[in-house]
Amino acid sequence: MADKEWLVVDTLSNSPTVVAAGSRARKWRPLGNVFRGSQLTMVEKLVGVVVDNLKDSQSLVDLTHGTKLAYARPILGPGRQVHAVMVWLGTKDENPPAPPKAIGWTWDLADPGRPRTVPHPGTAEFYGFPGDFDPTVTDLLSTLADISEIAQVLHVLADAQEGRAGTGEWLMRRPNGLPAKIRYAFRGARSDGRLQLHGISQEISDYVVDRGDFIAADVLRNVVGKRHPAFVHVDSGHVQSWLSGPPESLPDAVVRGFAPAPTRERIALPGLPKTTVLSVFS
């Protein structure tokens, strides 16, 4: 059932669950719903070995239908915590294909008005930023092409709580200009009393750009002219996402969400969390 495609197994909970199979989403399916019998035992053991050793592992196992090769690779987050394990099953004579590009991440929500990305090597490269760049949440959300997907993430931030989990997708135009579709999964947790989101992002490798995917974003960018719409946090005044790029006149700290933006008219919109408004800068 799960042979010859990479499965992404979330390991942030007490019971590992499958969140993706190849390019298809699998929303928190227990391993026992994907594997049976000796296959399940083998995969559970392999996932445990990877979580303990923080490195790739493989195993051969004799099953009813022949000998299988199982290969597993960790998806590491900040602090080298294993956020997920990618698992591939095939025959003993096969080599696994290249695994999907994936990364683990943590957002610190101790200050609700300014969520903070916890630094992690590889984040800039994964999302297409320059290598020495440490992207903020504002930087990341400003690459999204679909406003409804931005709103979905803002709802995740506004409603975050310990134990709450979710999944979603991003259609993004990377800063280097290349399009990408990213699938993400997350869980809320507390660390030293601080609310955090621990997550996994996986690039959907077989995504094919449709010519209509970015048209709404391109229309918005071209019609606003010297006006720059953004989603802003109501209480803190920090920009959460730029919808068509920031104005050159604002300081970098404001543009990237480190400092509050100048006060502008605030417009509440249906579909946004109550903690977010639309403001337009010039």
Find out whether 180 and 81 touch, Cβ atoms under 8 Å: no
Looking at the domain that runs over 7-91, which CATH code has it been given?
A: 3.30.450.20
179 contacts: CB under 8 Å, gap ≥ 6? 145, 171, 172, 173, 207, 209, 213, 214
Res 199: pLDDT: 95
CA dihedral 167, 173, 176, 180 (to 10 degrees): 50
d(CA 149, CA 145): 8
SS3 219: helix
pLDDT tens, residue order, the chain (282 aa): 456 789 999 998 888 899 888 878 787 888 888 888 878 888 899 999 999 999 999 888 766 666 778 899 999 999 999 999 999 988 888 888 899 999 999 999 999 899 999 999 999 999 999 988 999 999 999 999 999 999 999 999 999 999 999 999 999 998 888 899 999 999 999 988 999 999 999 999 888 888 778 788 888 877 777 899 999 999 999 999 999 989 999 999 999 999 999 988 999 999 999 999 999 998
Q: Which CATH number fits domain 102-281: 3.10.20.30, 3.40.50.300, 3.30.450.20, 2.120.10.80?
A: 3.30.450.20
d(CA 135, CA 106): 12
Q: Where are the domains of the chain?
A: 7-91, 102-281
Q: For residue 151, which of 13, 270, 27 has the smallest C-alpha distance?
A: 270
DSSP code per residue over 85-150: EEEEEEETTPPPPPPPPEEEEEEE-SSTTS-EEPP-TTHHHHHT--TT----HHHHHTTBS-HHHH
Res 136: pLDDT: 97
Tell me, yes or no, if the two domains 7-91 and 102-281 fold the same way. Answer: yes
Res 155: pLDDT: 97
H or E element that contains 71: strand 66-76
Bridge partner residues of 104 (DSSP)? 200
